């Protein structure tokens, strides 16, 4: 009986989480929220589904994981090691189980589970909106869609450190696109924005909140910047294919793939079959892959279409600032700074782009003075 | 940009599950290449265009992109001819009639057949490049009156590596096919041309306004063949190339097959040369 009731509740939850936003514009509301009230808010959000939020991982790092104790959630963090994409495109994901005895297989259906992602930075949300395009445009992928449709997002403002540069790629600290709720830090407390009908549902029944006038916070500046507006970068890249900057980068790069592994918009994967020790059955799974690894573009027979490091380091940045940007008008880099912060060779994304800009300026100058 | 609101749960596709098919004929044709006729379940048709490919799936080993070698319209069946060169293809070596084989596809863009109607078709095949081009050749032969001349240039390393020998014999005797063959190195029985495939091009008399060339071969071949065609003044947009890349997923998701910003598995593997020429990673 209890089991049947639980199943009914689950079915209702799934239905609820799949409801698309009603076609009305939510009137944006803003409430004041004390820092001390945040654990209670997290607890309240558990009524919708599993809450996933940043936690400490060791002394200096952070990770997104399901909340056990709301007081463990970290509200002030610079960035997690792995991006939020891991919750939508897991590093290893089973696609199917197969039997080697009779050659049959069973597809791994990804369950629709209501989840709330809490204390998410704006650049991270923007990376999910970009992944939406990659996974849903053309052939829409069911695994991704099931995870994505049942998700809600609660954003939080952050203090940029020496690696963040999201403003340079058009993403403000308080960019609220994609979020249902947003916590903007004011002094030590928060302003809670209710942004969508989904957000209204999430907050329903959470005590008495006091409506406040929205405040703009001054002085949360970015320390790291790309010198040009992002819409000028495709032209710089157009001229930079043969730039010596790529050689400088390639000479330092150790092809470890850390930059793509931690990148919130990288989505490349490989597929591999794992057979059990009895060799009777196994699973087909996909694993994150990286265009920075030596054999990424290698075909059977040994031909490697991006054999040299310079081919690969260049390809990665063109994928961020040129190829899809030409089509979609947006950089596919969100300025989280992970590739730079976690690069063992100290290669900086922003410095590389700024060097390309400088080289391009020099080339333009010479062209003009000669002409 | 595609947004989450634009896609309903029902719109999503099961992109990675193969259709289980059976080998209905097989033949080792050279030391390295084996021919397979694949039977679709319940008489289904693959529904492909010449030049497209499938992902061949073997549980426990994985998947690999393989060109379709038969012309469209072979009811319930299609052909593959596979060189044993990687992990999956070496396992396939032992596959015989009745063995199950997983298939996803057809994928990618093949030859724009409607645009080719009425044209003289110049097929230039190097080595196993003949495998995908056989699909185009047989399509033209199946609809012979809809096309102009059919000129086939085929080059192989040596006579032992020649594929589809029965069909080659037929092409070389038909008067509606102009068939030219060369091997890099002949043996004692070889009486035909020797030399690389480009040696067959200067002698061709082409109607430049009405000829379309389709080239497939090893990566090194394209540059030289295109140079020869260009020196005959064949315009770039009348040349089609089929490019090999690591098309792991076939559905434009996994990222492996990108040629600069283009997904080979979506926009290719058959490309109009004028369109792919500016892509620096293409050749």
**Domain residue spans of chain A:** 19-85+101-211, 230-365
Four-point Cα dihedral B23, B28, B33, B34, nearest 10: 0
> Is the complex ipTM more than 0.90?
yes
Whole-number pLDDT of residue A48: 95
- The rounded percent of chain B whose pLDDT value lies above 70 is 100
Residues 34-93 of A with CB under 8 A from B: none
Query: Number of structural domains, chain B?
Result: 2
Strand order of the β-sheet with B33-39 is B62-67, B53-58, B100-107, B19-28, B33-39, B77-83
Four-point Cα dihedral A7, A13, A16, A20, nearest 10: -110
Distance, in angstroms, between A60 CA and closest chain B CA? 33
Mutate to test the interface with B, among A130, A139, A285 (most CBs of B within 10 A): A139
Radius of gyration of chain B (CA): 19
Structure-token pair, residue B61 = 């080993």
The answer to whether residues B127 and B242 belong to one domain is yes
Contact criterion met (CB below 8 Å) for B115 and B144: no
pLDDT surpasses 90 at A23: no
**What are A151-180's pLDDT values in tens digits?**
999 999 999 999 999 999 999 999 999 999
Burial class, A8, CB count within 10 angstroms (exposed 0-12 / middle 13-18 / buried 19+): exposed
pLDDT surpasses 80 at A19: no
- Sign of the four-CA dihedral B132, B134, B135, B137: positive
The answer to whether residues B124 and B177 belong to one domain is yes
Residues 234-253 of B with CB under 8 A from A: 244-246, 248-249, 251-253
The answer to whether residues B151 and B255 belong to one domain is yes
- Sign of the four-CA dihedral B235, B238, B242, B247: positive
Contact status of B6 with chain A (Cβ, < 8 Å): yes
- CA pair distance B270, B112, nearest whole angstrom: 9
Single residue among B77, B107, B137 that ends a domain in this structure? B107
The answer to whether residues B159 and B264 belong to one domain is yes
Residues 268-297 of A with CB under 8 A from B: 268-273, 275, 279, 282, 284, 286, 289, 291, 296-297
pLDDT surpasses 80 at B226: yes
Whole-number pLDDT of residue A371: 58
**Better-scored residue on pLDDT, A366 or B103:** B103
Instruction: Read off φ and ψ for residue B47, nearest 5 degrees.
Output: 70, 45
pLDDT, mean of residues B214-241:
97
CATH of the domain at B233: 3.40.50.80
pLDDT, mean of residues A123-145:
96
Q: How confident is the model at residue B187 (pLDDT cuts 50, 70, 90)?
A: very high
pLDDT surpasses 70 at A22: no
Q: With beta carbons under 8 A apart, name residues in chain A contacting B86.
A: 299-301
The answer to whether residues B134 and B194 belong to one domain is yes
Q: With beta carbons under 8 A apart, name residues in chain B contacting A284.
A: 16, 59, 62
Query: What does the H/E/C string look like for chain B?
Result: CCCHHHCCHHHCECCCCCEEEEEEEEEECCCCEEEEEEECHHHCCCCCCCCCEEEEEECCCEEEEEECCCCCCCCCEEEEEEECCCHHHHHHCCCCCCCEEEEEEEECECCCHHHHCCCEEEEEEEHHHHHHHHHHHHHHHHCHHHCCCEEEEEEECCHHHCCCHHHHHHHHHCCCCEEEEEECCCCCCCCCEECCHHHHCCCCCCCCCCEEEEEECCHHHHHHHHHHHHHCCCCHHHEEEECCCCCCCCCCCCCCCEECCEEHHHHCEEEEHHHHCCCCCCC
pLDDT surpasses 60 at B30: yes
- Of all helices (H) and strands (E), which one includes residue A274? strand A269-275
Whole-number pLDDT of residue A25: 57
pLDDT surpasses 70 at A1: no
Contact status of A201 with chain B (Cβ, < 8 Å): no
Of B3, B15, B100, the CB nearest to A139: B15
Distance, in angstroms, between B143 CA and closest chain A CA? 32
The answer to whether residues B140 and B271 belong to one domain is yes
Cβ–Cβ gap A129/B255 under 8 Å: no
**What are B232-274's pLDDT values in tens digits?**
999 999 999 999 999 999 999 999 999 999 999 999 999 999 9
Single residue among B62, B79, B107 that ends a domain in this structure? B107
- Of all helices (H) and strands (E), which one includes residue A368? helix A349-370
**What are A265-284's pLDDT values in tens digits?**
999 999 999 999 999 999 99
Contact status of B33 with chain A (Cβ, < 8 Å): no
Structural domain including B139 reads 113-276
Whole-number pLDDT of residue A24: 55
CATH of the domain at B26: 2.40.30.10
The answer to whether residues B219 and B125 belong to one domain is yes
pLDDT surpasses 90 at B74: no
pLDDT surpasses 80 at B116: yes
- CA pair distance A321, A130, nearest whole angstrom: 13
Q: With beta carbons under 8 A apart, name residues in chain A contacting B13.
A: 139-142
The answer to whether residues B41 and B155 belong to one domain is no
Is residue B281 situated within a structural domain? no
Q: How confident is the model at residue B147 (pLDDT cuts 50, 70, 90)?
A: very high
Contact status of A256 with chain B (Cβ, < 8 Å): no
Q: How confident is the model at residue A17 (pLDDT cuts 50, 70, 90)?
A: confident
pLDDT surpasses 70 at A26: no
Chain A, nearest residue to B5 by Cα: A20
pLDDT, mean of residues B34-40:
97
The answer to whether residues B158 and B38 belong to one domain is no
The answer to whether residues B40 and B132 belong to one domain is no
Whole-number pLDDT of residue A219: 78
Burial class, B167, CB count within 10 angstroms (exposed 0-12 / middle 13-18 / buried 19+): middle
Is residue B282 situated within a structural domain? no
Structure-token pair, residue B35 = 């021919």
The answer to whether residues B99 and B119 belong to one domain is no
The answer to whether residues B49 and B119 belong to one domain is no
Whole-number pLDDT of residue A297: 95
Instruction: Read off φ and ψ for residue A192, nearest 5 degrees.
Output: -100, 115
Distance, in angstroms, between B113 CA and closest chain A CA? 23
pLDDT surpasses 90 at A307: yes
Q: How confident is the model at residue B178 (pLDDT cuts 50, 70, 90)?
A: very high
Q: How confident is the model at residue A370 (pLDDT cuts 50, 70, 90)?
A: confident
Single residue among B107, B125, B155 that ends a domain in this structure? B107
Of B4, B14, B259, the CB nearest to A148: B4
Is residue B283 situated within a structural domain? no
Output the pTM of the full model. 0.94
- The CATH code for residues A19-85+101-211 is 3.40.640
Whole-number pLDDT of residue A196: 95
Distance, in angstroms, between B273 CA and closest chain A CA? 18
Cβ–Cβ gap A299/B100 under 8 Å: no
Radius of gyration of chain A (CA): 23
Is residue B14 situated within a structural domain? yes
């Amino acid at each position: 009986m209890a089991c049947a009731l639980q199943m009914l509740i689950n079915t209702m939850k799934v239905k609820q989480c799949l409801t698309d936003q009603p076609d009305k514009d939510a009137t944006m509301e803003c409430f004041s929220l004390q820092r001390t009230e945040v654990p209670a808010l997290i607890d309240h959000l558990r009524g919708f589904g599993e809450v996933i939020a940043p936690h400490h991982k060791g002394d200096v790092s952070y990770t997104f994981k399901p909340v056990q104790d709301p007081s463990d959630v970290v509200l002030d963090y610079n960035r997690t090691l792995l991006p939020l994409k891991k919750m939508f495109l897991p590093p290893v994901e089973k696609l199917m189980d197969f039997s080697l005895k009779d050659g049959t297989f069973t597809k791994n259906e990804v369950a629709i589970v209501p989840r709330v992602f809490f204390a998410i930075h704006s650049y991270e949300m923007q990376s999910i909106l970009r992944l939406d395009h990659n996974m849903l445009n053309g052939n829409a992928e069911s695994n991704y869609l099931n995870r994505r449709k049942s998700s809600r997002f609660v954003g939080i403002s952050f203090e940029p450190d020496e690696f963040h540069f999201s403003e340079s790629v058009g993403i403000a600290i308080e960019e609220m696109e994609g979020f249902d709720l947003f916590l903007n830090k004011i002094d030590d407390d928060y302003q809670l924005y209710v942004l969508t009908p989904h957000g209204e549902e999430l907050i329903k029944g959470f005590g008495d909140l006091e409506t406040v006038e929205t405040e703009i916070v001054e002085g949360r500046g970015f320390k790291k910047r790309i010198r040009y507006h992002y819409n000028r970068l495709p032209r710089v890249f157009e001229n930079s294919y043969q730039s010596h900057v790529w050689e400088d980068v390639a000479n330092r790069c150790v092809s470890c793939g850390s930059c793509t592994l931690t990148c919130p918009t990288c989505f490349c994967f490989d597929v591999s079959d794992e057979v059990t020790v009895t060799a009777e059955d196994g699973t087909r799974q996909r694993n994150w892959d990286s265009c920075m690894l030596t054999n990424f573009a290698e075909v059977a027979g040994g031909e490697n279409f991006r054999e040299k490091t310079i081919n690969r380091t260049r390809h990665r940045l063109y994928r961020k600032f040129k190829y899809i940007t030409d089509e979609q008008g947006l950089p596919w880099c969100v300025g989280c700074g992970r590739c730079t912060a976690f690069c063992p060779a100290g290669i900086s994304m922003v410095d590389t782009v700024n060097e390309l800009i400088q080289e391009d300026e020099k080339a333009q100058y010479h062209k003009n003075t000669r002409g | 940009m595609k947004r989450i609101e634009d896609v309903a749960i029902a719109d999503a596709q099961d992109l990675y599950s193969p259709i289980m098919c059976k080998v209905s004929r097989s033949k080792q044709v050279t030391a390295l290449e084996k021919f397979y006729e694949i039977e679709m379940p319940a008489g289904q048709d693959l529904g492909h265009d010449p030049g497209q490919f499938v992902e061949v799936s073997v549980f426990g080993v994985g998947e690999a992109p393989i060109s379709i070698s038969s012309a469209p319209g072979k009811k319930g069946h299609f052909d593959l001819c596979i060189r044993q060169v990687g992990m999956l293809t070496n396992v396939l070596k032992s596959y015989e009639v009745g063995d199950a084989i997983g298939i996803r596809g057809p994928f990618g863009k093949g030859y724009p057949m409607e645009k080719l109607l009425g044209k003289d078709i110049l097929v230039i095949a190097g080595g196993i490049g003949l495998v995908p081009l056989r699909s185009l050749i047989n399509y033209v032969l199946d609809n012979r009156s809809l096309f102009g001349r059919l000129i086939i240039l085929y080059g192989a390393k040596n006579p032992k590596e020649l594929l589809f020998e029965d069909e080659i014999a037929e092409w070389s005797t038909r008067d509606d096919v102009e068939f030219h063959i060369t091997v890099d190195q002949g043996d004692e029985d070889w009486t035909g041309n020797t030399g690389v495939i480009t040696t067959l091009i200067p002698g061709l008399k082409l109607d430049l306004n009405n000829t379309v060339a389709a080239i497939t071969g090893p990566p090194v071949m394209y540059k030289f063949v295109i140079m020869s065609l260009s020196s005959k003044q064949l315009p770039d947009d009348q040349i089609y190339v089929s490019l090999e890349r690591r098309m792991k997923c076939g559905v434009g998701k996994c990222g492996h097959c990108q040629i600069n910003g283009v997904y080979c598995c979506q926009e290719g593997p058959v490309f109009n040369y004028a369109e792919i020429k500016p892509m620096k990673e293409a050749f």
